[in-house]
Copies of this chain bind each other. A is one copy, B any other.
Amino acid sequence: MEYTVQRLARLAGVSTRTLRYYDEIGLLKPARVNSSGYRIYSEAEVDRLQQILFYRELGVSLDRIKEIVTSPSFDEVRALREHREKLLEKRRQLDLLIANVDKTIALKEGRIEMSDKERFEGFKKRMIEDNERRYGKEIREKYGKETVEKSNAKLMNMTQEEYDRATSLAEEIRVTLTEAFKTGDPAGELAQRAADLHRQWLSFYWDSYTREAHAGLAQMYADDERFTAYYDKDQPGTAAFFRDAILIYTGMKK
């Protein structure tokens, strides 16, 4: 029995375009081509198409299907297992999305009044996500993956009291720094107090403190406009001043 494209297409329940595409990508070539250029398929191609469609229904990519059906020694089970993993990952993503959509709907409707604790948890998570989005890749490159993960983990484990303490520390730093800047002396008492407060603040996020890392961070503050924008907001030059203060504090500069 021989089939033209349309006959085979109807037999298998696919479109002729699909068959031509499969020919094009070398997934299913016709048994022969007649003198007018018509594609002629025979039984072997019917079987192969059935196999192809079987894997397609499982969501396997045509590329992968090609590997599977062309090499008879191909490890189908392994391929399927890997495919399964991908599907599971997709589902996890989907579940996350759905949960987030649900939460958003509930929030927009005002149905859920978040408790302080929940709000706090959500806030911490968002902070991490936000930080990730903004600086994640860069910081990971500079400080290594582990440092960042640990920092995030530490933040997630902070109690609200610790968090509040860290937040008020940040505010204290800002105030002290503003005053210190007016003295113009990064080695002065005020500037050094700001640097010390910053060390305390840091230890809320960092697992272990080293003067080198602290100095490195200070340098980054001054180099990166996204940080300087924050410190220089009221008094341009503050970021650089703060860097100098920390460099002196950590002993990296006289």
With A57-B100, A87-B97, A87-B101 in contact, do A133 and B13 touch (Cβ < 8 Å)? yes
Q: B101, A80: Cβ atoms under 8 Å?
A: yes
Is A48 part of the binding interface, using a Cβ–Cβ cutoff of 8 Å? no
Given contacts A12-B133, A76-B108, A133-B12, contact A87 B98 (CB under 8 A): yes
B97/A94 in contact, CB under 8 A? no
Chain B residues near A77 (CB-CB < 8 A): 105, 108-109
A95-107 contact mask (Cβ, 8 Å, vs B): 1 or 0: 1011011101100
Q: In the complex, are the beta carbons of A84 and B59 less than 8 A apart?
A: no
Instruction: List residues of chain B with CB within 8 A of the CB of A88.
Output: 98
B104 touches A94 (CB 8 A): no
Select which of B83, B94, B136 is within 8 A of A87 by beta carbon. B94
A134 to B59, CA, bound (A): 20
A101 CA / B90 CA spacing, docked (Å): 14
- Choose from B13, B59, B76, B83 the contact partner of A136 (Cβ within 8 Å): B13
Q: Write out, one digit per residue, whether chain A residues 6-32 have a CB within 8 A of any chain B CB (1) or not (0).
A: 000011110000000000000000000
A contact patch SS: helix
> Which parts of A26-62 form the interface with B (CB within 8 Å)?
57-59
- Determine whether A91 belongs to the interface, using a CB cutoff of 8 Å to chain B: yes
CB distance from A25 to the nearest CB of B (A): 22
Give the Cβ gap from A155 to chain B, nearest Cβ, in Å. Answer: 19
CB-CB under 8 A for A10 and B226, given A84-B102, A98-B84, A98-B87: yes
Q: How many Å lie between the Cα of A90 and that of B84 in the bound state? A: 16
A190 to B191, CA, bound (A): 111
CB-defined A-B contacts under 8 Å, sample of 27: A1-B229, A10-B134, A10-B226, A11-B134, A12-B133, A12-B134, A13-B133, A13-B136, A57-B100, A58-B100, A58-B101, A58-B104, A59-B101, A77-B105, A80-B101, A80-B104, A81-B105, A83-B101, A84-B101, A84-B102, A87-B98, A87-B101, A88-B98, A90-B94, A91-B91, A91-B94, A91-B98
* The 5 nearest A-B residue pairs measured at CB: A13-B133, A59-B97, A84-B101, A80-B105, A91-B94
